[in-house]
């Protein structure tokens, strides 16, 4: 890859990170103890991986995770260093960095760009849901109503915003790549023959 191409991709990554950050502030519904349904804020960062490979995707998603943490860090319910680390990892760093795996997750459908994009985005959103689910069990368990198992509380609470967000994001990714395919018919598949990032 020449320096001009690398610069162009870096500029696109920065734009997608900025777009994801702005969309994350557009909240369709916000839950009282954290978590919200946004205007498909995860899609732009996930699209970086779909277009340019896992290396670029993970890097962009990691930067996005740090921005999310800086913009709205929610401290754990108890003053404990382990819980603090778990919040950083499960609610921010891991939760958002997994978005950079969208190309890998869409690989089985790589011949069909829109379907591959939709599958990749859906799976990484579900991986983020898994991070939130684990965080709910390990960190936010004090908020579980009395008599409700912690795992069920975490599953339902996080699912209430992550499942709609995942569905909306999947639909948005499919529509975007279907439109791109119609605008640029015959362009190469999302993934290279080797499946490796460029």
Q: Domain 3-183 maps to which CATH number in 3.40.47.10, 3.40.50.1000, 1.10.1040.10, 1.10.1760.20? A: 1.10.1760.20
Residues of the chain with pLDDT under 70: 1, 184-198
Domain boundaries, the chain: 3-183
**E strand residue ranges, 58-195:** none
pTM over 0.75? The answer is yes
* pLDDT at res. 72: 86
pLDDT in tens, 95-122: 999 999 999 999 989 888 899 999 999 9
Using alpha carbons, list the distances in angstroms from residue 164 to 6, 27, 94.
35, 13, 20
Sequence-distant (≥ 6) Cβ neighbours of residue 135 within 8 angstroms: 86, 87, 90, 91, 95, 154
How far apart are alpha carbons 195 and 33 in whole angstroms? 40
């Amino acid at each position: 890859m020449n320096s001009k191409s690398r610069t162009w991709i870096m500029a696109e990554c920065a734009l997608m990170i900025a777009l994801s950050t702005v969309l994350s502030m557009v909240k369709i519904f916000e839950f009282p103890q954290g978590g919200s349904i946004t205007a498909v804020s995860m899609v732009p960062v996930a699209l970086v991986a779909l277009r340019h490979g896992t290396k670029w995707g993970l890097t962009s998603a990691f930067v996005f995770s740090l921005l999310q943490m800086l913009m709205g860090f929610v401290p754990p319910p108890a003053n404990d260093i382990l819980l603090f680390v778990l919040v950083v990892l499960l609610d921010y760093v891991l939760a958002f960095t997994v978005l950079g795996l969208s190309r890998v997750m869409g690989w089985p459908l790589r011949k069909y760009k829109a379907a591959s994009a939709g599958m990749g985005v859906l799976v990484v959103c579900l991986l983020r849901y898994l991070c939130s689910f684990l965080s709910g069990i390990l960190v936010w368990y004090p908020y579980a109503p009395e008599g409700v198992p912690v795992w069920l509380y975490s599953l339902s609470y996080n699912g209430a915003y992550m499942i709609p967000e995942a569905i909306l994001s999947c639909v948005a990714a499919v529509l975007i790549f279907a439109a791109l395919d119609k605008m640029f018919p015959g362009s190469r598949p999302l993934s290279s023959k080797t499946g490796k990032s460029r």
